[in-house]
Amino acid sequence: MIRTVHMISLCLLVCAIAAARAGAVEDRAYELQCYRSAVSAARDEADVPAPQYAPDREADILHITIDVTPDFKTRTVAGTTSIKFAPIVKPLAELRLDAIDLDVSSVTSSANIEGFNVTDEVITITFEPAIRPGDQTTVTVIYEAEPKQGLYFRTPEMGYPEQDTHLFTQGESHLAPHWYPNYDYPNERSSSEVICRVPKEMTVLSNGRLVSEEVDSETGLKAVTWLQEKPHVNYLIALVAGKLKKIESKYKDIPIAFYTPASLIEYAQNSFKDTADMLEFYEEEIGVPYPWDQYYQAVVQDFVAGGMENTTLTILTERTLHTDETQNIRSSQGLVAHELVHQWFGDYVTCKDWSHTWLNEGFATYYEDLYDGYKNGSDSMLAGLYGTASYLLADRPEHKPIVYRSYRRAGEQFDYRTYSKAGWVLHMLRTELGERMFRKCVKKYLERHALGSVVTEDFRSVIEELTGRSYDRFFDEWIYHGRHPDLKVSYNWSEKDKLAKISIEQTHQVSDKVMLFGFRTKVRFMIGDEIIDRPITIDATQHDFYFLLPGEPKIVRFDPDYGLLANIDFEKPTAMLYEQLEDANDVIGRLRAVDALKKEKDQKTVAKLKDVLNNDPFHAVRERASEALREIRTDEAFEAIAESLDQADARVRLQVVRDIGRFYRPQSLDVIRRTLRNEKNPAILEVAIRNLGLYHHRDTRRLILDYLESRSFRNELASAAVEAIRMSDEPFFIAPLQQTLDQRRMQLPSRSFARGLDTLAHIARNEDEKAKVRDFLAGCVHHPMNRIQAGAIRALGTLGDPRAIPIVETFSSDEPDDAVERAATTALRQLRQRKELVPDEIVRLRETVEKLRKQTEKLADDLDDINKRLDAKEEAGVKKDATEALDSSQGTAQNRNAED
């Protein structure tokens, strides 16, 4: 079936592009129509991924021992990995281990091995006889590796400071096989032991507890052994080793520590300071004690993500470190809290397969919010949820559910659905269940599935067990289907009858992917100082509710407890919105009022918003008022913002400076200059510097160049100058920017340097002569830092010089699986489009044709391989039959001779 589908799609695509090339289509509209029809067929019939499920567990992995010796000069690893296992139900004739590009020199076992086979991705070990169920067996693999992923070096040869030399690993989702062989899926758990041999001045960190440190007198290397005794999943096995420094403390009897590369240790305390407080809060909130031996955090340079919750050892990006000068703008609170609570959700219990990733990430996201509420007050938590909802409620062309199986790669699951939306769903559950019952359900869920694999139904069944209520519909709507409700709410007051009418309509399109929602909420009426709440149930497309009240309310609030993720269109009289702005006890009501009032442009509304900007008791509302004034965009709105720059809270001051920069006028430049003269907070200075790019004056160019050459923490001000140059889009900056990048390539963070390369290409893209810039970029495509290498390739695409195509092609891949290959794919598309001056859709069409052609060739090769295997087996079967017949005839003859 798959082969037929691919051939149909290929034919459609070939017909479309052949017609275009032959001149059969004379206008672009028809050409694009051909493309869309062909690609639609290809996607619908061929490219829909098959559902993904957890693989069978033929053997129980009991323990894994990884003994590695890294070579920091060559960035390679010599390793010996031993895996103890036992077949579960059936005799095991073959054991398959995930192993990517490992150079295997030997495989031994406590059982008899008939042979083993090594491919680029798998080691297959064949046992003869098969191992009986329950028989504990060990296999040992000796190998070497030069990992492209999974284990990452940071060395002087790569451009990192010698004093900060280190390495780190990243296992999730399937990167661990790049540095040791294993069974790599989250439905299996085992204990683990990691031994790492490094120069004696280095520190080694891994999971569990430190067992020993011994220096080998012959090699001079220090062998450090870590043991994780409680079983955990493979992707959580971690290693950090190098020249590190630490600060440490204790929570109860649990050791806690925070490590950084040596040169960064002075900034560690700002990120580490709340760790013990978080542990105390989470133990109380979750109801389950911290389940591991210790909790360490290690900052590494150019980490592949923000953070990773390895069991007992979280690895964090160095970008979480910050100085005191940023005041309350920069904080590690969210990241540290998120990764810490994963020790319960994700480590103590782990999703069985990636379709249930939300059980890891959604819980971590929501408990990050809960700690924010505990630490900074409920208004902070609610405002955070409000900001998250603003992002989630944006309409999207696809409506994937949270639990989703039709993904190609596990990494696709780590998006807004499994983080922010899943966290919001948990907030809705907590709002409906009540805090006490929610805690009870979570505690029971964790205790029941401790050190095990979980699926969504495990959590739902606990809720139903403890509440006695069915939650099938809730989970069906929010977890197994996509999107959210769109609600149109209207209010009318009848003075004669003293009746308030609330009408609610669900206006979103219902389909097989998006359901009609059912939920309970309430409406709040404020009459004078009296608050009247009325519960309502929504279970149809449209409802009208009537409420008898003692008088006309001054404020009407739908979902006042903020427990529903929905687009709510609730038009109210302006006077009611003004009243809502004054309610100091309702932060969500004030935020909603600000957002509603930004549609108005009258002077009274501007004055009201200016008052909120300067006097509201909560910073997030003041920030929102600044944004609203910016969107109003009148002269009065600009003056209101410009006159509100003097803000004690740095977060509000930052927003004001950002919004002033969105007004293109001479007065804005005056405010920017004043900010650059007087402001001390580097985070605010960054915004002001970027805003300089809007103004094409000699003095602004001089300021930008001054900041480009400046020195600051992580050279953040120089990075802001790069952004200003990009915004200015002036060729004037080509020479000075290229010179700065050439001279400061060892000083700028890799992310900033890569951005600088792309900015250089951006401002040179329209120049007639691009050779100098092209050659400079080409000189960076082999940079040992992966991010800079990918950045240089991406920049060649931005530059748009077709002569760079041969350079970029050397890095391309049919199925890109790393940053460099993905950058090459994108750059090639840009360059070919520029060369042929054809629409991007046609470029994609040709790429799809080529991809399908290669897929078809591969299918043909696979079919040919299958036929050869069958022929070989048939031939072997014929020979076997002949041999048996010969043996039989010989045996018969011998028997006859014996009888004679």
Over the stretch 35-54, which tens digit does the pLDDT of each residue have? 444 444 444 444 668 999 99
Q: Which of 339-348, 577-586, 666-675, 843-852 has the lowest mean pLDDT?
A: 843-852
Which residues neighbour 6 within 8 Å (Cβ) at sequence distance 6 or greater? 46, 852, 855, 856, 859
Over the stretch 761-777, which tens digit does the pLDDT of each residue have? 999 999 999 999 999 99
pLDDT band at 9 (very low <50, low <70, confident <90, very high): very low
Pick the closest to residue 354 from 397, 293, 418, 304 (CA basis).
Answer: 418
**pLDDT value, residue 873:** 61
Residue 474 predicted with pLDDT over 90: yes
Choice between 866 and 264, residue whose per-residue pLDDT is larger: 264
**pLDDT value, residue 28:** 40
Q: Bin 800: left if φ > 0, else alpha if -120 < ψ < 50, else beta.
A: left
Asked if residue 449 lies in contact with residue 392, where contact means CB atoms within 8 angstroms, the answer is no
Q: Which of 207-216, 479-488, 528-537, 809-818 has the lowest mean pLDDT?
A: 809-818
Which is it for strands 313-317 and 295-300: parallel, antiparallel or unpaired? parallel
Which residues neighbour 172 within 8 Å (Cβ) at sequence distance 6 or greater? 235, 236, 308
Residue 33 predicted with pLDDT over 70: no
pLDDT band at 874 (very low <50, low <70, confident <90, very high): low
The arithmetic mean of pLDDT across residues 789-804, rounded, is 97
Over the stretch 444-457, which tens digit does the pLDDT of each residue have? 999 999 999 999 99
Over the stretch 616-672, which tens digit does the pLDDT of each residue have? 999 999 999 999 999 999 999 999 999 999 999 999 999 999 999 999 999 999 999
Q: Which of 3-12, 60-69, 636-645, 879-888 has the lowest mean pLDDT?
A: 3-12
Token reading at 848: 């799809």
Q: Which of 36-40, 187-191, 470-474 has the lowest mean pLDDT?
A: 36-40
Pick the closest to residue 482 from 402, 416, 393, 422 (CA basis).
Answer: 402
Which residues neighbour 407 within 8 Å (Cβ) at sequence distance 6 or greater? 49, 52, 354, 355, 413
Asked if residue 100 lies in contact with residue 178, where contact means CB atoms within 8 angstroms, the answer is yes
Residue 238 predicted with pLDDT over 80: yes
**CA gyration radius, the chain:** 32
Residue 736 predicted with pLDDT over 70: yes
